Amino acid sequence: MALRKRVTMHDHAAEAALFKRRALFTFVCVTILLAILLTNLYHLQITSYKDYETRSNDNRIRVVPVAPSRGLIYDRNGVLLAENQPFYSLELIPEKVKDIPETLIELSRVIPISADEQEDFIKSLKHHRRFKPLTLKNRLTEEQVALFSVNQHKYPGITVVAGLKRYYPYSELLTHALGYVGRINDRDKSALQRSEQWKDYAGTKDIGKLGIEKYYERLLHGKPGHLEEEVNNRGRTIRTLKSVAPEPGQDIYLTLDLELQRKAVELLNGRRGSVVAIDPRDGGILALVSSPSYDPNLFVHGISSKAYGKLLNSSARPLINRATQGQYAPASTVKPLLALLGLDEKIVTSKTRVWDPGFWQIPGVKHKYRDWQRWGHGWVDVKAALIHSCDTYFYDLAYKTGVNKIAQFMGPFGFGERTGVDISEESAGIMPSKDWKRLRYNQPWYIGDTISVGIGQGYWTATPLQLANATAILAAKGRRFTPHFLKSVKNDSTQIDSSDNELPPIKLNMPENWDIVTEAMRDTAHKKRFKDSPYTAAMKTGTAQVIGVAQDTRYDASAIKEHFRDNALTIAYAPFEAPKIVVAVVLENAGWGGVNAGPVAKSLLDEYMLRDTVESLK
Is residue 603 part of the annotated active site? The answer reads no
DSSP class per residue in 350-399: TT--EEESSEE--TT----EE-SSTT--EEE-HHHHHHTT-HHHHHHHHH
* 180 within 8 A of 215, measured Cβ to Cβ: no
* 521 within 8 A of 338, measured Cβ to Cβ: no
Cα Rg of the chain (Å, integer): 37
Determine whether the annotation assigns residue 356 to a binding site: yes
Residues 6+ apart with CB under 8 A from 305: 116, 120
Calpha distance 193→554 (Å, rounded)? 60
Determine whether the annotation assigns residue 371 to a binding site: yes
DSSP state of 180: -
Calpha distance 403→286 (Å, rounded)? 33
Buried (b) or exposed (e) across 458-483, using 16+ Cβ within 10 A? Answer: bbbbbbbbbbbbbbbbbbbbebbbeb
Determine whether the annotation assigns residue 29 to a binding site: no
Catalytic one among 89, 274, 290, 332?
Answer: 332
Calpha distance 293→322 (Å, rounded)? 10
- 432 preceded by cis ω (within 30°)? no
How many residues are given for the chain? 618
Closest listed residue to residue 577, CA positions, set 504, 498, 477: 477
Query: C-alpha distances in angstroms, 210 versus 75, 219, 313?
Result: 18, 15, 19
DSSP state of 168: -
Calpha distance 35→27 (Å, rounded)? 12
Calpha distance 23→32 (Å, rounded)? 14
Phi, psi of 491 (to 5 degrees): -150, 165
* 409 within 8 A of 424, measured Cβ to Cβ: no
Calpha distance 320→336 (Å, rounded)? 29
Residues paired with residue 73 on neighbouring β-strands, in sequence order: 82, 252
DSSP class per residue in 274-314: EEEEE-TTT-BEEEEEEES---THHHHS---HHHHHHHHT-
DSSP state of 316: T
Q: Which residues are annotated binding-site positions?
A: 356, 371, 377, 390
**Catalytically active residues, by annotation:** 332
Q: Which residues are annotated binding-site positions for Zn(2+)?
A: 356, 371, 377, 390
